[in-house]
């Protein structure tokens, strides 16, 4: 475990976290620090994507290689998450969350556009007053990490040119090929 932390923080390397990485390694606080969050006890927005509930994404940072080419109103259906904002709450693994999400400690790239997203039928924890980051990057020590909740749907990976360009930018940034 320490070698993985050192790989990023001391050796200046990068890690790319996708989708459900935030429900992994609840007993290891440093994992949460590398990732930037853990899932708390909140509900998912269209948890299995069965309702195909559309969400409109807001691009908060257009300078990052992953998000610079995204459309102004990136609309898609996928599984979307909320993150634990306090420690100690029980996550889905029934273990306490050891690391709380703090948007001031990461570079939020993409979040829900709460003004344009229709919350009708969504779980009560999701509403127009909320803050729902879905993609971020961060620099840790000499290295960097990137997380995207977006990426549940197979067709995004196989045939969506916007998503594929987004992920290509993320990979290039994690590898240090783009700033």
CA distance 176 to 12: 9
Cα 164 vs. chain centroid, distance in angstroms? 16
Structure tokens at 29: 């606080």
| Residue owning tokens 């997203």 | 117
Do 64 and 137 meet the contact criterion of CB atoms below 8 Å apart? yes
Structure tokens at 102: 């703090």
Pairing of strands 143-148, 14-18: parallel
The confidence band for 171, taking pLDDT boundaries of 50, 70 and 90, is very high
Structure tokens at 124: 């009560």
pLDDT in tens, 8-58: 999 999 999 998 887 888 888 999 999 999 987 766 776 666 777 789 999
- Quick one: pLDDT at residue 11? 98
The whole-model pTM stands at 0.93
Angle at 83 between CA 161 and CA 121, to 5 degrees: 75
- Quick one: pLDDT at residue 48? 66
Do 44 and 79 meet the contact criterion of CB atoms below 8 Å apart? yes
pLDDT in tens, 83-100: 988 988 888 888 888 889
């Amino acid at each position: 475990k320490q070698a993985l932390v050192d790989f990023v923080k001391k050796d200046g390397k990068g890690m790319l976290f996708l989708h459900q990485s935030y429900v992994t390694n609840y007993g290891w606080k440093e994992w949460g620090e590398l990732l930037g969050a853990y899932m708390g006890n909140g509900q998912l927005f269209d948890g299995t994507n069965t309702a195909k509930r559309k969400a409109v994404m807001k691009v908060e940072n257009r300078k990052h290689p992953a998000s610079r080419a995204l459309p102004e109103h990136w609309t898609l259906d996928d599984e979307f998450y909320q993150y634990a904002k306090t420690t100690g709450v029980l996550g889905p693994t029934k273990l306490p969350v050891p690391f709380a999400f703090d948007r001031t400690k990461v570079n939020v790239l993409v979040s829900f556009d709460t003004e344009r997203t229709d919350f009708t039928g969504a779980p009560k924890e999701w509403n127009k007053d909320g803050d729902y980051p879905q993609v971020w990057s961060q620099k840790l020590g000499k290295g960097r990490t990137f997380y995207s909740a977006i990426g549940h749907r197979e067709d995004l990976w196989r045939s969506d040119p916007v998503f594929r360009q987004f992920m290509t930018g993320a990979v290039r940034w994690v590898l240090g090929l783009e700033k």
